[in-house]
Homo-oligomer: A and B are copies of this chain.
Amino acid sequence: MKQISRFSHFGELSDKDYFRIALSVDCVIFGFEDDELKVLVIKCNIKEYKGMWSLLGDLVRPDEDLDSASYRILKDRTGLDDVYLEQVQTFGKVNRHPAGRVITTAYFSLVNIKDHQLKLSDNELHWHPVKEIAEMAFDHKNILDTCLERLREKIQDHPVVFNLLPKKFSLRELQSVYEAVLNCELDRRNFRKKFFMMDWLIDLNELEEDVPHRPGKLYKFNAAKFAKKTKKVS
């Protein structure tokens, strides 16, 4: 690698020192199941945090874009590749990783749990209810909280939660997702009004089946309204 002359203080340390920082990506992969918001976690196998839950992450390869690294992790773990993924923040405290200097960029992702099979053999990789996670390895609890906060802001204005649901869903299911993410109860009538007003839904003229009560109508996300703005900045 050539010398990077733009940086003012390069002379104070040798070139090699500046490459002593590793860069990783951590994915907060959210799913929705049993009326709960869940996150994909794995048992940590480094000694300092033995047995604690950690997020899915990996080092960024020298020849892959940062965004690509997060897609790779998601693909490797869930088999999914057309998923919602958003960069949230980069965490870079000196001592955040016990094994050395690792700076990590956090992404959050929204997937439909039913759409894929996990390789459950791997270190107890599984979907864990977000509400039940009190602590995690490294600074991962902090990362999770930050991503959840971002998700909460995001869903107020942007039609992203559809990624957590199957193609066809009822309004009840949609509302449950919002309630799970926001951790609050919502008024049914206002909720329905809002969504029809937004024009985010297409009525499929189908009904739920196998429910022990009056079946609700099924809808799909009005994807056509949202031209794919692929803002690839990073």
Contact = CB atoms under 8 A, between A and B. Distances in A.
A4 B10 CA distance: 26
Given A90-B234, A105-B90, A234-B91, A20 B1 contact: yes
Interface string A85-99: 001011111100101
Interface string A217-233: 00000000000000001
Contact of A3 (B18, B69, B99, B233): B99
A37 interface: no
A101 interface: yes
A56 to B, nearest CB: 9
A133 interface: no
Interface in A1-59: 1-10, 13, 17-24, 44-46, 54, 57-59
B1 A92 contact: no
Contact of A20 (B10, B62, B97): B62
A161 interface: no
A61 interface: yes
Interface in A158-217: none
A100 interface: yes
B5 A22 contact: no
A143 to B, nearest CB: 8
Given A99-B1, A103-B66, A233-B142, A21 B60 contact: yes
Contacts of A46: 5-6
B45 A22 contact: no
Contacts of A76: 8
Nearest to A3: B99
A21 B20 contact: no
Contact of A65 (B45, B89, B94): B94
A64 interface: yes
A46 B44 CA distance: 43
Contacts of A64: 94
Contacts of A99: 1-6
7 cross-chain pairs, A with B, having the tightest CB-CB distances, nearest first:
A66-B92, A1-B100, A19-B19, A90-B90, A20-B62, A4-B99, A91-B234
